Amino acid sequence: MYWGSPDIDAAYHVPNEYMFGTELLAAPITEPMDKSSRRGKADVWLPQGDWFDFFTGRRYSASSPNGRRMTVWRPLDGIPVFAKAGGIVPMQPLSEGDSINSVDNPQHLEIIVFPGADGDFTLMEDSGHYSRQITPATTAITYRWRKDGATSALTVSPAQGDVHALPARRTWDFLFRGITDSDISVQADGASVDSDRRYDAETLTLQVTVADVSTRSEIRVTIGDTTMAPDPRMEDVFDILRHAEMRYLTKEQAYAAIAENGIDALATMDSLEHVSGPDMEDCSDSHMPSAVRQALTEVLLRS
């Protein structure tokens, strides 16, 4: 990280963290899972700006010029990967059958977009055969963000260069992470085309599918109301408490305290004790485990 931010001290203190390509920041978990929270942790430094969890769409803000240090907690099936606002990430859906090992440029692409800022990305594809006379096919993808519910637009420009390396036609999935559901319109070369719109509330993702469009056409996806989705804190708090291996009855107390007082409730977590009874644990062993409290802190400090 210090190659990109050599003047910021915090960038030198996250040796496991790295940029994966130009758009993604990864912080792999390299320690055993904590048994009380059922999660693993990684120390993370986010450079200044707004960042999204790549998989869930949850948003993190690093407002200081020095960025933000924090510990992130993930379950066994989660990996800390973040994309900055304005990021554009092309993905290829996994094929099936005989084509799973094909090296041809894909006929189906996913473009994952992270709103909150303007973004630009150039997709480069080639035939796999080197020649000084052949230039890779390039497809410019631009995203223009307009805040406060105004209209935003994503534009895929016609492919340039050695377009013979590309399929003649392509299906596109455009996934806009971290926003609310909204009306959309799609044009190809200025004419309206059919599209399929879906919204996934779990990952806060608006997905727009445009099928069978020429790779030499310009595609424009317009989103009528690009409002950031509210962070689903309480649902994630409940998930942490539900999976935590706590043998005492503090989950309901903790949930009620957080719902009422937010982040301020964590100051009292150490003294949330179970209901007394002959079959209960000793009260001296009834405090909220530190790892559970830290995992809750990460959730409650998100944007």
Q: 72: domain CATH number?
A: 2.60.40.1180
Does 141 lie in the same domain as 239? no
Question: Counting beta carbons within 10 angstroms of the beta carbon of residue 115, is it exposed (0 to 12), middle (13 to 18) or buried (19 or more)?
Answer: buried
Q: Tell me how far the alpha carbon of residue 4 is from its chain's centroid.
A: 21
Task: Domain count for the chain, please give it.
Answer: 3
Residue 292, domain member (yes or no):
yes
Q: What is the full per-residue pLDDT of the chain (303 aa) written as tens digits?
A: 999 999 999 999 999 999 999 999 999 999 999 988 899 999 999 999 999 999 999 999 999 999 999 999 999 889 999 999 999 999 998 877 777 788 889 999 999 999 999 999 999 999 887 776 678 899 999 999 988 778 899 999 999 998 988 999 999 999 999 999 999 999 999 999 999 999 999 999 999 999 999 999 999 999 998 899 999 988 898 888 887 765 554 567 777 878 888 888 877 665 554 444 444 444 444 567 888 889 989 999 998
Token code pair at residue 127: 């035939």
Does 63 lie in the same domain as 19? yes
The radius of gyration of the chain from alpha carbons, rounded to an integer in Å, stands at 23
Does 44 lie in the same domain as 154? no
Token code pair at residue 192: 């309206």
Does 207 lie in the same domain as 115? yes
Residue 7 has φ and ψ, to the nearest 5°, of -95, 0
Does 190 lie in the same domain as 283? no
Angle between helices 251-261 and 290-300 (to 10 degrees): 30
Give long-range contacts, CB 8 A cutoff, 24+ apart: 11-19.
Answer: 11/45, 11/47, 11/67, 13/43, 13/45, 13/69, 14/43, 14/44, 14/45, 16/42, 16/43, 17/42, 17/43, 17/44, 17/45
> Of 22, 56, 83, which residue constitutes the final position of a domain?
83
Facing residues of 171 across strands? 108
Contact in structure between 22 and 89 (CB atoms under 8 Å)? no
Residue 287, domain member (yes or no):
yes
**What is residue 113's predicted lDDT score, i.e. its pLDDT?**
98
d(C-alpha 114, C-alpha 205), whole Å: 10
Facing residues of 176 across strands? 113, 206
Please tell me what DSSP assigns to residue 33.
Answer: P
Q: Which of 51, 54, 73 has its CA nearest to residue 63?
A: 51
Does 187 lie in the same domain as 144? yes
Separation in Å, CA 207 to CA 67, 139, 176: 30, 20, 6
Facing residues of 39 across strands? 34
**What is residue 258's predicted lDDT score, i.e. its pLDDT?**
80
d(C-alpha 58, C-alpha 81), whole Å: 11
Does 110 lie in the same domain as 142? yes
- Judged by DSSP in three states, 206 sits in strand
Angle between helices 290-300 and 233-243 (to 10 degrees): 170
Does 31 lie in the same domain as 142? no
**What is residue 287's predicted lDDT score, i.e. its pLDDT?**
66
- Judged by DSSP in three states, 63 sits in coil
Instruction: Kindly report the pTM of this predicted structure.
Output: 0.88
Does 201 lie in the same domain as 117? yes
d(C-alpha 222, C-alpha 210), whole Å: 13
d(C-alpha 96, C-alpha 107), whole Å: 13
d(C-alpha 1, C-alpha 180), whole Å: 32
158-185 burial, b if ≥16 CB within 10 A, otherwise e? Answer: ebebbbebbeeebbbbbbbbbbbbbebb
Separation in Å, CA 96 to CA 99, 100, 101, 188, 274: 6, 5, 9, 28, 52
Residue 3, domain member (yes or no):
no
Does 259 lie in the same domain as 194? no
Supply the range of the domain harboring residue 197: 88-223
> Of 170, 205, 223, which residue constitutes the final position of a domain?
223
